[in-house]
Amino acid sequence: MNSLLRAREGIPRSARRLRAGQPVSIVAFGTSLTLGGAYLDRLPAALKASYPNARWTLTNRGRNGYMTLGAAFRVDADVLPYAPDLVIIEFAHNDVTPILVDFIPSALEGIIAQIRAVLPHCEFVFVYLALPGMAANGPSLAMTAYEAIAHDQGIPSIDLATLSEMLVAGGEADWQGPPERALTVDGVHHGPAAARLLGEPFAEAFLTLLAESNHDSAPPPGTRQGAMTAVARVRAADCLLNGVWAVRPLQPSEERGAGIDGEGLAEAVQPGATIQLAFHGTNAYCWVSGSGVLGVRIEPIGERYRVGVEAVGKWSLCSLMETQPAAEYKVDVIALNAGLLLGDVGITGRLSSA
């Protein structure tokens, strides 16, 4: 099933180091499907069998609830500490709304540029997964956006989304059902059978990619203007302005939440509780949950959006604003009623001291 692989420029540096027995650090950076590891399950044994003298590590940095936009704020914490030679990127599965698809080019190119600013020779592979039916009639919008960047930058891609649809359509698997046939346990997250149904083809495609990557490395392309290369991420609990907040650690039931990472969160105890920060840039985002409602006031533009949050038990990323061209701004995040939970506030740009 190597038709799921588009090798493009390949990963020649990583392949060369594996063949030479030099250490290779691989980071899998993706959604909860990466965290669950089903499609990665067969890769370690396949590498060991084909490259018995190779020295490699595979670090799983999958995260629940993340999408490409949110991932751009996680590079410093989740990728760079492992000094990867190769990063497997899997976020298209969660890019299911138009605004998230619209942000893929700037966010994905920003992820790559942030990594290459520190590790200029790092290589990449894109992995595609999708919700049931999303790729039944062709690539999802997120996959198409990823493929445009893969084509421009020569990055290989492995399409497990189309493979999943083919397995179900051909009667070899079900989305849900008996564990020995079901790709997922709940319509979203992979079940035990996915390690065989997807993990084996993925490992085969990865080995094929290595075998075809027997040429010299091409110089990486330059960073495009507008890519999310300058980002800042701050705990909401560190920029409380007024009102009544409860700052507390995660509860066990919240530990699967995206964007919080055990660092604590701010909970609005009364309406009007406000968080404020100043930045120079173009956009602000906030990881929110709970049954509260938030409003956003941006100076000097004035109030732009009111965003209702109905995401009890599920962490989500809300885009708070899309400003005019980069400038100095102050943003207030206002709890319009009690119960709003805030994790991180992310800025496309840099925090300012104003």
Q: What is the pLDDT of residue 353?
A: 72
Are 302 and 331 contacting, i.e. CB atoms less than 8 angstroms apart?
Answer: no
Peptide bond into 300 cis (omega under 30): yes
Question: What Cα–Cα distance (Å) separates residue 290 from each residue in 179, 299, 316?
Answer: 33, 26, 10
Give the tens place of pLDDT for each residue, 94-134: 999 888 899 899 999 999 999 999 999 999 999 999 999 99
> Domain 2-212: what homologous superfamily?
SGNH hydrolase (3.40.50.1110)
Q: How does the average pLDDT of the chain come out, rounded?
A: 88
Residues 6+ away with beta carbon under 8 Å from 113 = 223, 227, 229
**Would you call 325 exposed, middle or buried from its count of C-beta atoms within 10 A (0-12, 13-18, 19+)?**
exposed
Q: What is the pLDDT of residue 305?
A: 62
Q: What is the pLDDT of residue 331?
A: 83
pTM above 0.75, yes or no: yes
Cα–Cα distance, 184 to 191 (Å, whole number): 5
| Domain definitions of the chain by residue range | 2-212, 231-351
Q: What is the pLDDT of residue 64?
A: 83
Question: What Cα–Cα distance (Å) separates residue 271 from each residue in 27, 106, 239, 243, 291?
Answer: 42, 35, 17, 8, 13
End-to-end CA distance of the chain: 56
Q: What is the pLDDT of residue 308?
A: 55
DSSP conformation letters of 176-219: SSSTTTBSBSSSSSB-THHHHHTHHHHHHHHHHHHHH--SPPPP
Pick from 226, 235, 232: which is nearest to 284 by CA? 232
**2.60.290.11, 3.30.565.10, 2.60.120.260, 3.10.20.520: which CATH number matches 231-351?**
2.60.120.260
Crossing angle between the packed helical segments 12-20 and 199-212, to the nearest 10 degrees: 90
Q: What is the pLDDT of residue 313?
A: 42
Residues of the chain with pLDDT under 50: 1-2, 309-315
What is the Rg, in whole angstroms, of the alpha carbon atoms belonging to the chain? Answer: 21
Residues 6+ away with beta carbon under 8 Å from 17 = 23, 24, 85
Q: What is the pLDDT of residue 323?
A: 64
H helix or E strand, kind and range, residue 268: strand 265-268
